[in-house]
Amino acid sequence: MKLTKMSHACVRLEKDGRTLVLDPGMFTERDAALGADAILVTHEHPDHFDEGRLRAALEANPAAAVWTLKSVADQLSAAFPGRVHTVGHGDTFTAAGFEVEVHGELHAVIHPDIPRITNVGYLIDGGRVFHPGDALTVPERSVRTLMLPVMAPWNKISEVIDYVREVRPQRAYDIHDALLTDLARPIYDRQIGALGGAEHLRLTPGHSAEV
């Protein structure tokens, strides 16, 4: 499976000539979802879900479909009948040849005064890749490659390190990093790499790795 990191929280996965895109939001390249056979969205926040990017991808490929939670599906279903699927924790499905399990229910706490919204994570091909969205969800199965949200208004580095320790992946690739300056990156690389207990990796947007 080829994993390509796009800006912020977006990832493209390619296998057997088909493409699955996760979380193409407003901080992501405008063409990040183009060419996708399937798109997964973890939640409604605009850095993960940009309606214009999804509409462009669905219009460009009439066979493409979206799997997401209700709050996002409600914004797209009328325009693309039969192509937008609502999912929740515990669901399993096949999208563009990828086997997907849904894990998690709520966005991480930003502040007690801010109501929590729904958030789901996606486990791909039996644990080969896990994208948690905006939550530190731990799937009840082993994970080979964890997409790790390293910098967000709702987390701190000690929580990120403990999350890697709890999931125990073979490797962790940074996502959710648009707010992380280049000056801070060496600190995160050093501390997560030294304390997380897993190989800690980072891809420049547009670059790929085999997982």
> Exposed/middle/buried for 26, CB within 10 Å: 0-12, 13-18, 19+?
middle
Cα angle, residue 119 at apex, residues 79 and 205 outer, rounded to 5°: 80
pLDDT in tens, 86-127: 999 999 999 999 999 999 999 999 999 999 999 999 999 999
Distance CA 95, CA 185 (A): 34
Query: What residues are paired with 21 via a beta bridge?
Result: 12, 39
The helix/strand/coil state of 194 is helix
pLDDT in tens, 43-53: 999 999 999 99
Pick from 137, 190, 197, 152: nearest CA to 170: 197
- pTM (two decimals): 0.97
* Residue-range domains of the chain with CATH: 2-210 (3.60.15.10)
